[in-house]
Chains A and B, each alone.
Chain A
Amino acid sequence: MTHSPFSKPSRRIVLAGLGAGLLATPALALSEAAAKTLVEQAVADINQVISSGKSEGAMINDFERIFARYGDVPTIAISALGPPARAASAAQRSAFTQAFTGYMARKYGKRFREFAGGRIEVKDTRQRSRLIEVRSTAYLPGRSPFNVTFLVSDRSGSDRFVNLLIEGVNLFQTEKVEIGAMLDRRGGNVDALIQDLRSAG
């Protein structure tokens, strides 16, 4: 990931955006430029972890932090759980969100290694209803370039990823179906699902 000449001021914009929610100042409307910067920053952080040469366990811990920092994890988790979340207690929802975060970091952290030696170039951004679509191309050695699309939302109060699509394959939707299947397997028992999630991925 090469640093664009804008990376310094934009990082400040991102931090300001992240801080806006905390300080309860009027949240800035999510701009396409801010969404693009968020993607570039996350890609830079991921590349740094991949090239760090750490053990897989240490890398997965780093990915879990990146996922929590850039992604709107509670929204992704509870929305993926769907209607069963209504009947769940606040404690169950928070335990589920935590287990889901670790599961995602393990499942996809392992896969980020495939991006070693590659780069992601942001192509363009577009407003999609209340989301910003950031389209990019991934270039991996010895492979045809492929499309990676990030969906960014500011509805949590700060700019965060809410979804990722690789050649149209939708991370949020596939995980929603997977969580549904895991819950079915446990006869709808959310506590058992949380247990399973802690070791899955």
Chain B
Amino acid sequence: MFNAVTSSIVRVALLGAVILLSACGTPSQPDGINDPYEVTNRKTHEFNRGIDRIVLRPTSNVYGTVVPEPARNGVANFANNLNQPGNVVNALLQGRIENAGHNTFRFVVNTIFGLGGLLDPATDMGLGDRTTDFGETLYVWGVPEGVYGELPVVGPITERHAAGKVVDLFTNPLRTVLEGPEAAAQGAANVASGFGTRYRLSDTIDSILYESADSYAQSRLIYLQNRRFKLGVDSSGTDLDPFEDPYDSLPLQ
């Protein structure tokens, strides 16, 4: 029963990934933002703002107020640690052997000396966080970014990143090992860690979602800039060129 359900999920996910990947062939526009479904995306953005306003923001405020900071950090560390095996798998798939070793040591150190991952002694030892994902693996393999979109609850994303998220449901070996209450604990830690992040970045996220004149355009730009920075994508010559010189775009010359 369990296996049948798992294999059907795998099949659906792989199908989804294949569809997304084949759609990734769309050439990107010269401005560096490829958003052909903007009208639909803006509707999803309004939906997501509603979800944030009604659920995420109030819940994370309660979480941040009720749970003291050391405990919140513990939960975030715990969730981060349980995701390490997935980072190792992706680093190997990317051919980044050094990162795979780094993440393996990080996992071992934090699990053994960090009370099962609640603490993060690895960072103090110089083994800082090097989170990666299958979206990055696809980038390393040469898969194009695909179009930009905003997904319900997930938020801003590119096709390549979305395909990676689907595959990442299966790249963490711990997910197949953990069952029952342990698997539930991992899921709960991830969710709580998400609330912790929403709380910690509260001022930043509020300013983008609720104080901007066009929160959709701001979210899109910030997501793409940050994602490309993380992956090390070269955006030179586009509207997202990080080294654009404001002098060169002065309108008065």
Bound together, the chains give a CA A147 to CA B128 distance in angstroms of: 14
Q: Mark A177-201, 1 if CB is under 8 A from B, else 0.
A: 1100110110000000000000000
Among the listed B222, B227, B228, which residue makes an inter-chain contact with A174, where contact means beta carbons less than 8 Å apart? Answer: B222
Bound together, the chains give a CA A150 to CA B24 distance in angstroms of: 33
Bound together, the chains give a CA A172 to CA B241 distance in angstroms of: 11
Report how many residues on chain A are interfacial, defined by Cβ distance under 8 Å: 46
Bound together, the chains give a CA A125 to CA B203 distance in angstroms of: 30
- Given contacts A114-B203, A181-B212, whether A128 and B243 have CB atoms under 8 Å apart is yes
Task: Tell me whether B246 and A79 are in contact (CB under 8 A).
Answer: yes
Kindly provide the distance from the CB of A182 to the nearest chain B CB, expressed in whole angstroms.
Answer: 4
Bound together, the chains give a CA A177 to CA B35 distance in angstroms of: 16
- Given contacts A114-B203, A168-B229, A169-B226, whether A177 and B250 have CB atoms under 8 Å apart is no
Task: Tell me whether B228 and A168 are in contact (CB under 8 A).
Answer: yes
Chain A residues packing against B (C-beta within 8 Å): 72, 75-76, 78-86, 107, 110-111, 114, 128-131, 133, 142-145, 147, 149, 151, 153, 155, 162-163, 165, 167-170, 172-174, 177-178, 181-182, 184-185
Chain B residues packing against A (C-beta within 8 Å): 69, 73, 123, 128-129, 200, 203-204, 207, 212-214, 217-218, 221-222, 225-230, 239-240, 242-247, 249-252
Listed A/B pairs (25) with beta-carbon separation below 8 Å: A72-B246, A76-B246, A78-B252, A82-B249, A85-B252, A129-B245, A130-B247, A131-B243, A142-B69, A144-B128, A144-B129, A149-B242, A151-B243, A162-B246, A165-B225, A167-B229, A167-B230, A168-B229, A173-B221, A173-B225, A174-B218, A177-B221, A178-B218, A182-B213, A184-B213
